[in-house]
A and B are shown apart, each in its own frame.
Chain A
Amino acid sequence: MNENPDLQRRRFMKGLAITAGASSLLATQGKLQLISNALAADYAGLNDYKSLVCVFQGGGNDAINMFAPYTQAAYQDYASIRQALAIPRNQLHPVSGEQHGFHPSMRDVRDLYNSGALATVADVGNLFRPTSLDDYRNRNRIPPDLFSHSHQTEIWQTNQPPNVGSSLPGWGGLVADLLDTANANTGLPPSFSMAGNNFWLSGNVTQPFDVATGGIKDFGDLEDSTYPSWASSRASAWNKILNLSQNHVLKAQTADTIRMARLRIAAIVGALDEAPEIAPFSGQGGLGHQLRMAARLISIREALGMKRQFFFVKIGGWDTHGNQLPTHADLLTQLNDALHYFYQTTQQLGVADSVTTFTASEFGRSLTSNGDGTDHAWSTQHLVMGDAVRGGQIHGEIPTMEIGGQKDAVDEGGIPGGRLIPEYSVDQYGATLAKWLDVTDADLSVIFPNLDNFSVRDLGFMS
């Protein structure tokens, strides 16, 4: 399906206007460039359905204990490095081939792995180009403020150094900007967050819809109603107040934000009311409830005319400096329960092959411990789930557990902490996912600013 470019542009601009409530949110110079970028490729004709779900583990997940070595020799290295923090070998759930094992809390995830529905992607982190120990020591184009939560979270989600006083778009949002042209023109963004604001889904054109896990509400007493008799007049007054012209920048954007929220809510509540019943989540923690809401939004994709959807869910608490063993076990149980539930739910909805779920975390954790916890590090492992994933295997290589080796980021003369330099960048990880969503190679280079610095553009974990 090839639309006339002018027609496509008009349709795109109209979509923008509706999405933003014809607001000044978009009426700025910088955006126009991206609108033309968006037209670099024709995505309007995409006819299949695909969606991407980001599970953000806030705080820095210790993937070393999540997915540990299992062969006797490698396990011994791990155990001697991690000491009291090492997970006992006989408690790990070994994967097929018994080279590695999942944490005791992750039996269901191990089963997903063995069934081919889940893969491990090894040695990923924020990286602007292939980086050696010398590069680190010379601060040669390494990500700034390494090991700081806030900075590395922003870089993970945007692939760029934070720029104080301006908001950088996230790579999920940029992909959503492009692929939203495949979606029907309903005034809804293609992206939904079940965990509030985030960089990842903040595009130049599209901004995520922040959805409560309990469902979507309107503004209640401020909405038009026949009861009580003065409610209609009240709603009309509020509408007029929201539409007053505002010279004050903060007030103007507040008014825009509320007006846009109302348009979005109106565009979705009817479809959500008609959504099929989705099995409740009965596992531990809140993450499963967030993913259940994502499943509900996936279930109404056709009513919404959506060919591409994006979801952001988040679970915090991974900054396990202290009391790591019980804390991490509890968090991994929540992750295990939520991923297991969500995979089953996508199967029931018949979309297990078109929904891909991936984990994210601002950084991994140190090989060394502080007695009962671990500290901020860099490289880490991630999980990718769905029937489109080349599951049951590790993509890339789990790095050698060596303190003070060629991958240990430490200054000359410093005490090595086992903070390993990643082999693969988040740009490569994200580009692999975006390519699966059918973003063209040329657009990948625009969205992932560091991708061209790496020889491998596709980490190969998607089929």
Chain B
Amino acid sequence: MSFNNCGLRTGLRKRGQWQLFKIHGLFLLFLASFGVLAIAADQEGDPPGLSGNDGNGNLSKAQAAHFLTQATFGPTLEAIQDLVALGGYEAWLDEQFNQPVSLQLPATQTLVRQMCDSRADSIDGNFQEARVNAWWNTVINGNDQLRQRVAFALSEIFVVSAVGPLSSSQYGLANYNDMLIANAFGNYRELLEDVTLHPAMGIYLSMLRNEKAQPEKNIRPDENYAREVMQLFSIGVHELNLNGTLKLADGQPIPTYGQTDIEEFAKVFTGWNFANTSWTAWIGQGDRTRPMEPIEAFHDTGEKQLLNGVLLQANRTARQDLDVAMDNLFTHSNVGPFIGKQLIQRLVTSNPINSYVARVAAIFNDNGRGVRGDLKAVIKAILLDDEARTGHLNSTTFGKVREPMLRLSHLRRAFPAIPMVREGERWGSGTCGQNPYELYTMPLPFPWDFRLVSGQDILRAPSVFNFFLPDFAPPGPISDQALVAPEFQIMTENTLTGFSHAITYEIQNSNESVDWTVLNTTKEEALADDTTALLDRLDLVLLSGTMTTEMRGILADHLNNGDFPADSQRRRAAKARDAITLIISSPSYLIQQ
């Protein structure tokens, strides 16, 4: 892997330019109307194809775009140029590892205040619109792309959701996301403990105020967290080989735990409550942003038999028990392949070959310096693996369905989204002296819920089993070849059409609407009378340079022969919008390779 440190300078300069697009859409429109932005239009020339680098060992733009598709919320032209200028993936990763963190709770609270919500300083509330918009602002505009991208992947493994008992704990959810964001480059052991003790998880999987048994009342410890922490957050239900395949005994999978093990772990997870709060205090008073704390009177102090022969002696504290139980799960040989494979699925490909999983799991087990669970090393191993970088070449199975959220984030980054600008108002009493705020909202059909239209939303899964299962295999060629495609679970007539309506609105009304979020396609419009230049640009940014000759021919035919307006501005706008619309609605785009 080649290094090129002088690229850092370029990166800084580009970020300066990038700021321009974060400002309000109306200002952008103003600039655009004078053609100011058009001057900045493309000067990068033809993108190299997949053949790769320029012959001097440097990254090609297509390679950069391919990498950024896996490592960020979607490549932009500037980000591609930055990475090429940096000269290597590792330099980019190091830069990302050191980016300042975009935290969600402060941003959410700021938005709630700007919305003039009088409950902004409450302990928590139903501030979903603010939380979701804070997240969109971060993934569109934030510089800590890798950290946020990994945190998003973690949010689909360590699932909590606003659908259910956390609907009025939106600060708690934002803070849970911050916990994932903080741990994305940390160690899995800490992540697991922070997940376990987060009050949002405590509420969601009812470990909060889980109490020791009272046999005379037929009360047993709550098994919810004990079950799901094993099934979903650490080891899974079956013993795995290092490469993620099932260990078999007499041809059958070997369970990692049984009902009795769950009951033993359920005892471990007793006695935890909101920080600095009494056991019986009204639950609405509990702080959802500080880790849970033990109240020993409710902790089960009996012996507990953990996995792999580990026995917890009686009369230990809740925290002592928790430490050993976390270690017990953390050191289980399943964690590396179980978590590693799912991270590969979220970032790179639905069906990683066994050796890829084994390499990542081995790094999880030992980062090379004797440390287990180093997530930074795991991320590097996933993204720098030969499979991630070249596995798609000549493969008919490599890649994954682009999640709806990642399709939208890519569009909103590549063609910088122009948010709606609103000024907060108190009910019936005018503004409240706050700055205007930005909303990334789209027109939606009944029942007006982005999650139901797209199948997805940030921290809004229908259950702890996420929006889709990691081993979902849609009937048809995919399952016939014993492949999986998790995201296919939410690719249906309903989501395909509903999301298509929502997403094409942002494109087809680019630069124009003030009613909803739209995209800025000014740069593409400047190229649009040159079909080849336009398609080259979009091929690079949207398809990492993989557009086939056939598809290019179809698009060119439409752009060159469609009955477009004579007015040059309208014509260029229509052509740019159509090219983007058609590409992002194509099977070639819907599958990230």
Binding site for B on A (CB under 8 A): 23-26, 28, 30, 58-59, 81-84, 145-151, 164-167, 169, 193, 196-197, 202, 204, 207, 209-222, 228-230, 232-234, 236-238, 240-242, 244, 246-258, 261, 264-265, 286, 289, 316-317, 319, 321-323, 327, 366-373, 375-376, 403, 410-411, 414-415, 417-418
CB contacts (< 8 Å) of B221 on chain A: these are 370
Contact, CB under 8 Å: A210 / B495: yes
Distance between Cα atoms of A397 and B234 in the complex (Å): 40
Given contacts A24-B477, A241-B582, A251-B588, contact A321 B452 (CB under 8 A): no
A234 touches B492 (CB 8 A): no
- A250–B591 contact, CB under 8 A? yes
Contact of A261 among B206, B474, B496 (CB under 8 A): B496
The answer on a CB contact under 8 Å between A164 and B551 is no
Whether A58 pairs with B463 at a CB distance below 8 angstroms is: yes
Nearest CB in chain A to that of B504: its residue: A221
Q: Does B33 contact A (CB under 8 A)?
A: no
Interface residues of B in 469-519 (CB under 8 A from A): 469, 471-485, 488-498, 500-501, 504, 508
Q: A216: which B residues are within 8 A, CB to CB?
A: 493, 497
Q: Which of A230, A258, A317, A319 contacts B496 (CB 8 A)?
A: A258
Q: In the complex where A148-B231, A368-B220 touch, is A265 in contact with B493 (Cβ < 8 A)?
A: yes
Q: Is residue B35 within 8 Å, beta carbon to beta carbon, of the partner chain?
A: no
Write the nearest CB–CB distance from A102 to chain B, whole angstroms: 23
29 contacts between A and B (CB under 8 A): A58-B462, A81-B218, A84-B217, A164-B246, A164-B253, A165-B484, A167-B472, A169-B475, A197-B492, A202-B475, A209-B493, A213-B446, A214-B447, A218-B497, A220-B501, A237-B578, A241-B551, A244-B554, A254-B401, A254-B587, A254-B590, A257-B474, A316-B462, A321-B222, A370-B220, A370-B223, A371-B209, A375-B222, A415-B220
If A145-B237, A414-B260 touch, does A196 touch B492 (CB 8 Å cutoff)? yes
Contact A321 B497 (CB under 8 A): no
Q: A149-B463, A238-B585 are in contact. Are A217 and B210 (CB under 8 A)?
A: no
Q: In the complex, are the beta carbons of B581 and A265 less than 8 A apart?
A: no
- A222 close to B581 (CB less than 8 A): yes
Provide the residues of chain A in CB contact with B474, threshold 8 Å: 167, 197, 253, 257
Q: Is the CB of B447 within 8 A of A322?
A: no
Q: Does the CB pair B471–A164 fall under 8 Å?
A: yes
Which residues on A sit within 8 Å (CB–CB) of B445?
A: 212, 214-215, 217
Nearest A-chain residue to B255, judged by Cβ:
A145
Give residues of chain B (348-397) contacting chain A, Cβ–Cβ below 8 Å.
Answer: 350, 395-397
Please count how many residues in chain B sit with their CB below 8 Å of the partner chain's CB atoms: 100
Q: Given A24-B477, A370-B223, A237–B259 Cβ distance below 8 Å?
A: no
A411 touches B497 (CB 8 A): no
Question: Which of chain A's residues have a CB closer than 8 A to the CB of B493?
Answer: 209-211, 216, 261, 264-265
CB distance from A143 to the nearest CB of B (A): 13
Q: How many A-B pairs fall under 8 Å by CB?
A: 287
Q: In the complex, are the beta carbons of A258 and B587 less than 8 A apart?
A: yes
The minimal Cβ–Cβ distance linking A167 to chain B, given in whole angstroms, is 4
Q: Which residues of A contact B554 (CB under 8 A)?
A: 237, 240-241, 244
Residue among A217, A248, A321 making CB contact with B397, cutoff 8 Å: A248
Q: Does B19 contact A (CB under 8 A)?
A: no
Q: A219–B505 Cα gap in the complex (Å)?
A: 11
**Contact yes or no, B479 A166, CB < 8 A:** yes
Contact between A83 and B217, CB atoms less than 8 A apart = yes
- The listed residue (B259, B452, B476, B555) touching A212 by CB distance below 8 A is B452
Complex CA gap A166/B555 in Å reads 37
> Is B437 among interface residues, defined by CB-CB distance under 8 A?
no
Judge whether B224 is part of the interface by a CB distance below 8 angstroms.
yes
List A contacts of B400 (CB < 8 A). 250
- B550 lies within 8 A of chain A by Cβ: yes
Chain A CB within 8 A of B548 CB:
yes
Q: Is the CB of B222 within 8 A of A319?
A: no
Q: Flag B551-562 by CB within 8 Å of A: 1 or 0 each.
A: 100110110011
Give the most central of A83, A249, A286, A411: most B CB within 10 Å.
A249
Partner of B578 from the list A84, A230, A418 (CB cut-off 8 Å) is A230
**B223: chain A residues within 8 A (beta carbon):** 321, 370, 375-376
- Separation of A207 and B491 alpha carbons in the complex (Å): 13
Q: How far, in whole Å, are A81 and B490 apart by their CA atoms in the complex? A: 41
Please measure, in the bound complex, the distance between the C-alpha atom of A86 and the C-alpha atom of B548, giving whole angstroms.
Answer: 65
What 20 additional pairs, Cβ within 8 angstroms, besides A150-B231, A230-B564, A251-B587?
A: A30-B480, A165-B482, A196-B455, A196-B490, A197-B490, A214-B445, A217-B501, A219-B585, A234-B562, A241-B555, A244-B551, A257-B496, A321-B206, A327-B165, A368-B218, A370-B210, A370-B219, A371-B209, A373-B206, A375-B224
Q: Which 5 A-B pairs have the closest CB atoms?
A: A322-B206, A214-B446, A210-B492, A233-B562, A370-B222
A289 touches B585 (CB 8 A): no
Chain A positions within 8 Å of B255 at CB level: 145
User: What's the nearest-Cβ distance from chain B to residue A313, in Å?
Assistant: 13
Contacts of B479 in A (CB 8 A): 165-167
Binary flags per residue of B191-220, CB closer than 8 Å to A gives 1, else 0: 000000000000101101111001001111
| Contact present for A316 and B463 (CB under 8 Å) | yes
**Residue of chain B at shortest CB distance from A163:** B473
Contact B227 A147 (CB under 8 A): yes
Partner of B550, one of A236, A244, A319, A367: A244
Q: Are B578 and A234 in contact (CB under 8 A)?
A: yes
User: Given A248-B591, A289-B447 in contact, is the A253-B237 Cβ separation under 8 Å?
Assistant: no
Residues from chain B with Cβ under 8 Å of A25 in the complex: 475-477
Residue among A166, A197, A233, A246 with the highest chain B CB neighbour number at 10 A: A197
Q: Are B591 and A251 in contact (CB under 8 A)?
A: yes
Residue in chain B with minimal CB distance to A242: B587
Tell me whether B121 is interfacial, beta carbon within 8 Å: no
Nearest B residue (CB) for A258 = B496
Given known pairs A237-B554, A248-B397, A289-B447, the reply for A376 and B477 (CB within 8 Å) is no
The answer to whether A221 touches B165 (Cβ under 8 A) is no
CA A233 to CA B555, docked complex, whole Å: 10
**Contact between B563 and A59 (Cβ–Cβ < 8 Å)?**
no
Q: B491 to chain A: which residues have CB within 8 Å?
A: 254, 257
Q: Which of B409-461 contact A (CB under 8 A)?
A: 445-447, 452-453, 455
Nearest CB on A from B383, distance (A): 20
The answer for the CA separation of A372 and B208 in the assembled complex, in Å, is 11
Q: Identify B591's interface contact among A147, A196, A254, A418, CB under 8 A.
A: A254
> In the assembled complex, how far is the CB of residue A137 from the closest CB belonging to chain B, in whole angstroms?
11
Do A369 and B227 touch across chains, with their CB atoms under 8 A apart? no
The answer to whether B482 and A166 touch across the interface, beta carbons within 8 angstroms, is yes
Say yes or no: is B337 at the interface (Cβ < 8 Å to chain A). no
B574 at the interface (CB under 8 A from A): yes
CB closest chain-B residue, reference A314:
B462
Shortest beta-carbon distance from A152 to chain B in Å: 12
B581 in contact with A411 (CB, 8 Å): no
A188 → B minimal CB distance (Å): 11
Using A212-B498, A248-B396, A411-B260 as known contacts, say yes or no to A233 and B563 having CB atoms under 8 A apart.
Answer: yes
Whether B224 contacts A319 by the Cβ 8 Å rule is: yes
Please name all residues of chain A whose beta carbon is closer than 8 Å to the beta carbon of B586 when the two chains form the complex: 238, 241-242
Q: How far is the CA of A237 from the CA of B552 in the complex (A)?
A: 11
The verdict on A367 contacting B218 (CB below 8 Å), with A25-B476, A166-B482 known, is yes
> Which of chain B's residues have a CB closer than 8 A to the CB of A233?
558, 561-563
Name the A residues within 8 Å of B557 (CB-CB).
237
Q: Is the CB of B587 within 8 A of A211?
A: no
Looking at the complex, which one of B231, B497, B562 makes contact with A217 (CB distance below 8 Å)? B497
Residue ID in chain B nearest A256 by CB atoms: B476
B284 within 8 A of A: no
Residues of A within 8 A of B494 (CB): 196, 210-212
Check B465 for interface membership: any CB of A closer than 8 A: yes
> In the assembly, what is the distance between CA of A222 and CA of B583, in Å?
11
Cross-chain contact A234 with B582 (CB below 8 angstroms): yes
Task: Say yes or no for B88: interface residue by CB 8 A criterion.
Answer: no
**Closest chain A residue, CB of each to CB of B487:** A250
Q: A230-B563, A244-B550, A370-B219 are in contact. Are A250 and B581 (CB under 8 A)?
A: no
For A165, give the chain B residue with the smallest CB separation. B482
